[in-house]
Amino acid sequence: EKGGYEHFMLKEIYEQPRSIRDCMRGRIYPQQGKVQLGGLKEYADKLKNVDRIIIVACGTSWHAGLVGEYLIEEYARVPVEVEYASEFRYRNPIISEKDVVIAISQSGETADTMAAIELAKEKGATIFGICNVVGASIPRTTHAGVYTHAGPEIGVASTKAFTAQVSVLTLIAFYIAQQRGTIARNKLIEYLTELNEIPELVEKALKANDHIQSIAAKFKDSRNCLFLGRGSSFPVALEGALKLKEISYIHAEGYPAAEMKHGPIALIDDEMPVVVIATKHSSYEKVISNIQEVKARGGHIIAIVTEGDTEVKGMADYAIEIPQTAEPFVPLLATIPLQLLSYHIAVMRGCNVDQPRNLAKSVTVE
Ligand code: F6R
């Protein structure tokens, strides 16, 4: 049942080229520059005219929502708010029939996310779901939605469901952009052509596994770890930190790289590993300065870099390459080495990676 892998988590990490492909199947038409989302078809006009989107979710799904915020704002130019479902439901949120709410949930059963949906529904909002488990409570409650099609996720720590959620959000961002005319057809052709290659690039990123395992051996006894990123790599850093803490029980925090100097920099000493997403995209130079700040204080840098990079490699203690891709798809690739790093560290520490202590696959209590 684990398909020859030692743990479900590893099997699910390795399934991602397929799960991302399944998620995009029949939904993108690169040559025509077209995204088609059957589940949202009835609401195409609503999305064309929407003033604001609110995303509600918990945990890893909330991190996917943050990536979605970057993508939807950048390409569809619609303001997005991303809320923890548990916070949203217990204040008196300002919401009306004009709003579109997107609820993200792998299990489709998370109690807080369900309650947030019910509240928004009462106030007249249109609710879309991004769920993995077909026919679960959340997809039955929403007005419409897009399944992630990642297949059953057994490992408690979410891996392939996260990249599938991010894939769906990427499709939704382009879909809304297409309806609103905020993206040029030739740009969409270019992006969708590249998106279509992502499963192969994920496959390539997985090839760094042995190298990542050797890095894991160096840091397995760490007590703390920081994860830094900017732009859409910031939520990837949050997700990297969550993976490490939940399966290895090492205290880890994700931060926007520039926020480090506003506090967390005080933690840096020669025992602190700092994982930095430093791919060659818009904030490359800025991230390099953040790396120098860490190095100056004796911290150890594990950098996620674009294939062929020399500059960051020259200053990092360890570098893990991911294939070159266009900016909107960096989260899908940068997530892979972080999953593997957490996995190997947890295994080396003798942790039960598939069933971490105190955690359950679906959180049906509030
Ligand atoms: C982390 C993890 C949890 C879930 C969260 C929401 O690896 O699995 O943080 O992401 O409990 O669950 P769903 O997506 O089922 O609503």
Nearest residue CA, atom 4 of ligand 1? 59
Contact (CB, 8 A) for 52 and 176: no
Q: What per-residue confidence (pLDDT) applies to 287?
A: 96
Nearest by Cα to 151 from 31, 20, 316: 20
Alpha carbon of 181 to ligand 1 centroid (Å): 34
Q: What per-residue confidence (pLDDT) applies to 304?
A: 98
For the stretch 308-356, pLDDT in tens is 999 999 999 999 999 999 999 999 999 999 999 999 999 999 999 999 8
Pocket mutation for ligand 1, best pick of 158, 169, 335, 339 (most atoms within 8 Å of C-beta): 158
What is the pLDDT confidence band of residue 362, given thresholds at 50, 70 and 90? Answer: confident
DSSP structure class, residue 72: I
What is the pLDDT confidence band of residue 133, given thresholds at 50, 70 and 90? Answer: very high
What is the pLDDT confidence band of residue 190, given thresholds at 50, 70 and 90? Answer: very high
Mean pLDDT of 141-145: 98
Mean pLDDT of 97-115: 97
Q: Which residue shows structure tokens 């998370």? A: 110
Contact (CB, 8 A) for 11 and 357: no
Q: What per-residue confidence (pLDDT) applies to 4?
A: 94
Q: Which residues surround ligand 1 with Cβ inside 6 Å? A: 58-61, 105-107, 110, 113, 157-158, 242, 246, 362-363
Ramachandran angles phi, psi of 357, nearest 5°: -60, 150
Q: What per-residue confidence (pLDDT) applies to 257?
A: 95
What is the pLDDT confidence band of residue 10, given thresholds at 50, 70 and 90? Answer: very high
Pocket mutation for ligand 1, best pick of 63, 67, 106 (most atoms within 8 Å of C-beta): 106
Mean pLDDT computed over every residue of the chain: 97
Q: What per-residue confidence (pLDDT) applies to 19?
A: 98
Alpha carbon of 237 to ligand 1 centroid (Å): 16
Antiparallel, parallel or unpaired: β 34-35 and 28-29: antiparallel
Mean pLDDT of 211-226: 98
Alpha carbon of 158 to ligand 1 centroid (Å): 7
> Is 361 one of the catalytic residues?
yes
For the stretch 235-255, pLDDT in tens is 999 999 999 999 999 999 999
- Ligand 1, closest atom to CA 362? 15
Q: 289 pLDDT exceeds 90?
A: yes
Contact (CB, 8 A) for 182 and 313: no
- Ligand 1, closest atom to CA 363? 11
* Cα 317 from Cα 215, distance rounded (Å): 10
Nearest residue CA, atom 11 of ligand 1? 59
Q: How many CB atoms lie within 10 A of CB 255?
A: 22
Planar angle of CA 83, 51, 182, nearest 5 degrees? 105
Q: What per-residue confidence (pLDDT) applies to 135?
A: 95
- Ligand 1, closest atom to CA 165? 14
- Ligand 1, closest atom to CA 107? 15
- Report pTM: 0.98
For the stretch 53-77, pLDDT in tens is 999 999 999 999 999 999 999 999 9
Nearest by Cα to 252 from 233, 227, 235, 271: 227
- Ligand 1, closest atom to CA 138? 16
Alpha carbon of 60 to ligand 1 centroid (Å): 5
For the chain, where are the alpha helices, taking DSSP H only? 8-14, 16-24, 44-49, 59-71, 85-90, 111-122, 137-141, 160-180, 185-195, 198-206, 209-219, 233-248, 284-296, 311-315, 330-348
Alpha carbon of 321 to ligand 1 centroid (Å): 27
Catalytic residue among 121, 218, 313, 361: 361
* Residues belonging to the chain: 366
